[in-house]
């Protein structure tokens, strides 16, 4: 079974799995992290902060310069659904209320944390990585197929999803086509290493 973060950023992956009749367990990042740690799921995109020393592939949830769905808004506090983004805000020494996922699209006048990271380090940011507990070769083959499949979300599916979270089809398409990507190359690896190296003092 694969753990699935039930956000727009992984809708292409969800459809990819659905077309192959692969069993999934949906949840927010913090829930998927816990299931992965307890080995109740075989594989998943888990939060970058939780991926250290895990068996992971060069595939993740990545954004460069902006992400739109990981924000720091007026107020205070972490987002209980998050792990990586809470630490990212602390690393950047920014004060406010962390808001992640589909609910972030409804927020106004907030700071985009991927933008702030890029301003400071001139690097993309890796929010999650695809990691495995077992059947490594099987899932490596699967995730490679996903990367080369150029999964396009059909209009009617994306329109329905966008309506459900309160954004336009155009905004949803722009987000998937031009903001979120999945391949982790050398720049992304450099960014991930930097983030993890600076995270220790913020971990409880």
State pLDDT tens for residues 147-164: 988 778 999 999 999 999
| Listed residue (89, 99, 92, 98) closest to 121, CA to CA | 92
Q: Name the average pLDDT for the chain.
A: 93
Would you kindly state where each structural domain of the chain is located, as residue ranges? 2-187
* Phi/psi at 138 (5° precision): -60, -45
What is the spatial distance between Cα 97 and Cα 78, in angstroms, rounded to a whole number?
6
Q: What is the mean pLDDT of residues 46-69?
A: 94
Tokens found for residue 201 = 């003092």
Cα–Cα distance for residue pair 200/204, rounded to 1 Å: 9
* Rounded-to-integer distance, Cα 100 and Cα 28, Å: 10
Q: How many angstroms separate the CA atoms of 191 and 199, rounded?
A: 12
Residue 28 has pLDDT above 80, yes or no: yes
Q: Could you tell me what percent of the chain has a pLDDT over 70?
A: 98
How, if at all, do strands 2-5 and 43-47 pair? parallel
Distance CA 178, CA 58 (A): 19
Q: What is the mean pLDDT of residues 12-40?
A: 93
pLDDT at residue 149 in the model: 83
In the predicted model, what is the mean pLDDT of residues 155-180? 96
Q: Is the pLDDT of residue 203 over 90?
A: no
In CATH, 2-187 is 3.40.190: yes
Instruction: State how far the Cα of 12 lies from the Cα of 169, in Å rounded to an integer.
Output: 15
How sure is the predictor about 79, in pLDDT bands with cuts at 50, 70 and 90? confident
Q: Give the per-residue pLDDT at 151.
A: 73
What tokens appear for 114 in the block?
Answer: 């991927």
Residue 204 pLDDT > 60? no
pLDDT digits (tens, 9 = 90+) for 99-157: 999 999 999 999 999 999 999 999 999 999 999 999 999 999 999 999 988 778 999 99
Mean pLDDT of 27-40: 93
pTM for the model stands at: 0.93
Neighbours of 37 (CB within 10 A): 13
């Amino acid at each position: 079974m694969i753990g699935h973060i039930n956000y727009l950023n992984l809708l292409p992956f969800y459809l990819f799995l659905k077309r192959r009749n692969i069993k999934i367990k949906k949840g927010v990042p913090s829930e998927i992290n816990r299931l992965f740690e307890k080995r109740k799921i075989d594989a998943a995109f888990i939060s970058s902060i939780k991926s250290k020393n895990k068996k992971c592939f060069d595939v993740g949830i990545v954004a460069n310069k902006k992400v739109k769905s990981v924000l720091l808004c007026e107020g205070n506090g972490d987002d209980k659904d998050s792990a990586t983004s809470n630490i990212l805000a602390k690393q950047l020494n920014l004060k406010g209320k962390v808001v992640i996922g589909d609910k972030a699209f409804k927020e106004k006048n907030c700071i985009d944390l991927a933008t702030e990271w890029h301003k400071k380090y001139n690097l993309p940011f890796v929010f999650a990585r695809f990691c495995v507990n077992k059947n490594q070769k099987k899932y490596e083959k699967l995730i490679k197929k996903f990367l080369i499949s150029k999964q396009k979300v059909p209009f009617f599916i994306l329109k329905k999803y966008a309506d459900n979270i309160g954004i336009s089809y155009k905004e949803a398409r722009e987000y998937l086509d031009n903001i979120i990507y999945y391949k982790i190359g050398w720049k992304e690896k450099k960014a991930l290493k930097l983030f993890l190296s600076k995270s220790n003092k913020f971990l409880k």
